[in-house]
Amino acid sequence: MYNRKRAIRFSSIFLFLILCLLLFSAKLILIQFFRSSYLTSLAAKQHNRYLELEPLRGTIYDRNLQPLAVNVRAFSLYGNPRIMSQEDKQRAAQDLPNLLDIERSFVQERLSRDKYFVWLKRKIPLDKVEDVRALKIPGLNFIKESKRHYPNQTLAAHLIGFAGMENEGLEGLELKFNKQLKGEPGWSLVLRDARQRDLLLEKSFFHPKDGFGLVLTIDENIQYIAERALDKAFHKHKALSASLIVMDPRTGEILALANRPTYDLSRFAQSPAESRTNRAIAHVYEPGSVFKIVAASAALEEETFVETDKIFCENGEYRIANHILHDYHPYGTLTFHDVIVQSSNIGTTKIAKKLGPPNFYKYAKRFGFGQKTGIDLIGEVDGLLKPPSQWSRTSIGALPIGHEVTVTPLQLVCAISAIANDGVRMRPFVVKYIKDSRDELIRSFQPRVADRVISDDTAQRMKAILADVVERGTGRRARIKGVSIAGKTGTAQKVIDGAYAQNKFYASFIGFAPVEDPQLAIVVVFDEPHPDHFGGTVAAPVFREVVINALKYLQARDYD
């Protein structure tokens, strides 16, 4: 009996062990053949950490290799909620908000996630990094990154633009050349122990490719000169907005471009959209009398008039269809030359009538109006230039004096540059070349001719007329002792809701210097300056200040 019970017990134990063996074997087969991929990936997640290695974004330089946008070292804070105790999470939620200016609820929500990695604060200032480290909270650590830094804050803001948290270009040249500036990311696979601590052992590594640098046509010093002069007048005349462009008429290189209002590139998120608008290329307006250079140049080129021809200016009143055209000062008979010098609306209209709408339109197109200049910036608009088939009966008295047409400041500086450059209009550009970190040239951008607008002879004659505008005409406030200046003033009523507004004007001045060897072509535009609103009194003095200081600077560089 005893032996029988013993045999039954032995058999039961044996059967149980066989059953366990079968169960374990089935489990192993399930793991090996059906769940191996899942468990392998889970182990990899626990013991391997994939890091994307950020490339260094390329630097943006001025023409003299002065940095305008650079990358600086930054640290980003992350947490590993899975290895943090509840006490660690409470300490982090209590201490981090005051240090990093973040909400306590944000920290609590992030650390409540069942994850190995959560961002807590990106790109922290270096002094804050040490403060966080001093807390010695387990589960918090830093990743080295970089962030965009603009050493001159507002200088050339509308040209440079800005990059966001991920070092992606969002505006201006940062956006236009984002692909070249950004580079290509690398990656690293780092081993971790069971407690999710980095072992500083790399299983594999791919080095990031840093971005290329941009070297601009902008001269940091001329940009500062232009912005200082524009800013002072902008506030003095209480203008709604203002723009200024300095261009080398011989090459099309933009030496300075400024707008008001402006913004701090380092705090772009706090700036209103209107302060970030590049009005120099994206804002159109009726130019007024600065547009008279088109009719004058075309008439001389087509030999419709010569400078000494007499034009009767109707003593200040002239009917065009059902509209009465006026001059600000009534004139009797003026020479062709003096019609432009004194900026007679009636005289200019008579010039355009004799020239004819098709010819006038042809030369307006040659000067670049009604079309984009092709500058290497984002956001340029083309303005409005109606073909003669769309003109009304009064258009012949409006377009030649800068009405029923809209332009950008950039188009105006290109137009006046064509006269300065002996009749050749150059395509404007702001990037001279692209280079790598070893200063090897990747790509260069050369001056390009956009069009032959007028002949050399006509350009010389127009230079003489525009020089007289400054010497004894409406642009006298642009005069500089010892420097020959050529230019044209413009004052135009604003169009609001389809009608000309009372007491709201655009004041502008276009010009170049020195006349005999033009190095600088400049446009200055103010929107709603007051109480003064004439181009000759508001914009011309700004032109004068920029030319004086820019020529001093350029001459000093020539002696270096």
Phi-psi region of 271 (alpha: psi -120 to 50; beta: other; left: phi over 0): beta
| CB of 426 closer than 8 Å to CB of 414 | yes
Q: Give the C-alpha separation, 60 to 225, whole Å.
A: 20
Q: Is the peptide bond between 249 and the residue preceding it cis, with omega within 30 degrees of 0?
A: no
Query: What is the sign of the dihedral through the CA atoms of 120, 123, 127 and 129?
Result: positive
| CB of 218 closer than 8 Å to CB of 209 | no
DSSP 8-state code for residue 102:
-
Q: Give the C-alpha separation, 322 to 389, whole Å.
A: 19
What residue type is assigned to position 283 of the chain?
Answer: H
Q: How far is CA 515 from the centre of its chain?
A: 31
DSSP secondary structure string for all residues of 304-368: S--TT-EEE-GGGEEEETTEEEE-SS--SEEEHHHHHHTT-HHHHHHHHHHH-HHHHHHHHHHTT
DSSP secondary structure string for all residues of 123-163: EE-HHHHHHHHHH--TTEEEEEEEEEE-TTTTTTHHHH--B
| CB of 266 closer than 8 Å to CB of 150 | yes
Cβ burial of 376 (10 Å; 0-12, 13-18, 19+) is middle
Question: For the chain, how big is the Rg over CA atoms in Å?
Answer: 35
**Active site residue ranges:** 289
For the chain, helix, strand, coil in percent to 5 are 40, 25, 30
Q: What number of CA atoms fall less than 13 Å from residue 96's CA on the CB side?
A: 28
Query: 257 has which bridge partners?
Result: 245
Cβ burial of 56 (10 Å; 0-12, 13-18, 19+) is middle
Specify the DSSP element, H or E, that contains 68: strand 67-79
